Structure 1
Amino acid sequence: MKRIHLFFMLALAALGMQSCNNDKTYAEKKEEEADAINKYLLENDIKVIDENTFFSQDTMTLADNEYVLFKESGVYMNVMQRGVGSPLTDGTYYIESRFVEMALQTRNDDIQMEAGDTLTANMHINNPTYWGYPEEFKLTVSGTSYSGTFSGVSQMYDTYEQTSVPTGWLLPLQYLKPSRTNSSEDVARVRLLVPHSAGTVTASRYVYPCYYEITYNLGR
């Protein structure tokens, strides 16, 4: 009887612990997300600059490990290649992108993923060898307002059933000069650390950050 009683006590304790993990407050999840981003910054020896410094550098980052933090959105950006085109002005554009989306946080409670997991991608992160089709989205620019809708072939839509382009994807386009090019050296390209609030609908729901590497090429 004592052994049976102990078994049920342990089972109840385990259920209680699982319930606690799933019942974390939004504030607690945001704190864990911030910890995951800070861990990535430290482990990769990333130098963070503010927006004033970024603008003084002609909206460029000057090293592979230099990222600008946009305080309002919480997005960190490293500009790998600004592009060889012209800044985008008011109007409609069709953008073709290659990207890698990687988890920055280990989550084994409500969702199953490890930090460093590739969540979805249509390019290889370590070289310019591409496969599959580029991600297509329609971009509308009006003053400082940028909005986008996935169209055509879209792994992001297939994965997340989300038609709107995450704001974290759109932010770099304010500072890049995308063109229509087949050159992996000339294509506009950035690295991003994106918190849930600027990410996909799933990231927003479960409160986790992602690393992205994204190219932006003008389409049709």
Structure 2
Amino acid sequence: MKTVKILICVVLSALAFAACSDTETYADQKKKERSAINRYIANQKIKVISEEQFFAQDTTTDVSKNEYVLFESNGVYMQIVRKGCGEKIEEGESTTVLCRFNEYNLIESDTTLQLTNIYQYAWLVDKMNVRNTSGTFTASFDTSSSLMYTRYGTAAVPSGWLVPLRYVNIGRPTNEGDEVAKVNLIVPHSEGQDDAARYVYPCRYEITFERGR
């Protein structure tokens, strides 16, 4: 029954965006996406920093200043809220990463949840199978444990989700005070999930990353 409800939401979302795409060109959709991103950045008083500044700050973002780093090559904005316990995924390593997330469609609303396994579907932790090959991360969702797969019908992990993996630790809390990595992302359609790519809309995410057993 839970899966059926998710699929119904997918169909309704697809119909809504299909109606828009009948009257909008791809260029129009990209302009609308850019406007939505810019509006969110302005409304939230986000301070966008360059990659150069990000690296000069030892790959950190100052949360007190609401800093986000913009990666020019893909258009993803990232704020590292917590670097997390444990270690980074090493080159040549394959591991399981557990994710909890909130997803928002920035064109529809920057405060209304589109998908979440924190406040809803908490029983379904998204499990990613991740590999680091010479600094390039690839990943797929475990189809038996993924709300993203259930909702969007593909095991492909959005490219935007992989961006933080170079910079955060992926561990499991073992000592008092240990916390898993947490990031905030603004992801354009080109780096997003299948629905966002198809209908050209940006998403923002709040995501935690924890190493699987």
TM-score when scaled to structure 2? 0.84
**Hey, which bits of structure 1, 4+ residues long, moved more than 4 A?**
18-21, 182-185
Q: For residue 218 of structure 1, what is the aligned residue in structure 2?
A: 211
Aligned to 1:79: 80
Deviation at 1:20, TM superposition (A): 8.2
Give SS of 1:37's match: helix
**Once the two structures are superposed, what CA deviation does each residue of 1:21-52 show, in whole Å capped at 9, x if it has no partner?**
62321111111100000000000000000000
Q: CA deviation at 1:120?
A: 0.9
Partner of 2:4: none
Highest CA radius of gyration, 1 or 2? 1
**Which residue of the other structure, out of 97, 116, 138, is the alignment partner of 1:147?**
138
Distance 1:207 1:143, change over 3 A: same
**Which moves more between the two structures, 49-58 or 61-70?**
61-70
Distance 2:93 2:135 in 1: 12
- Secondary structure (helix, strand or coil) at the match of 1:190 reads strand
Q: Flag structure 2 segments of 5+ consecutive residues without an equivalent.
A: 1-17
SS of residue paired to 2:38:
helix
Give matches, 1:28-177, under 5 Å: 28-64=28-64, 65-89=66-90, 90-106=92-108, 114-124=109-119, 131-151=122-142, 152-177=144-169
C-alpha displacement at 1:204, in angstroms?
0.2
In 2, distance between residues paired with 1:21 and 1:175? 36
Please name the residue that 1:5 is paired with.
none
Rounded to whole Å, the distance in 2 between the matches of 1:74 and 1:143 is 22
Q: 1:61 to 1:115 in 2, by over 3 A?
A: closer
Matches of 1:20 and 1:87, distance apart in 2: 42
2 CA distance for matches of 1:91 and 1:19? 44
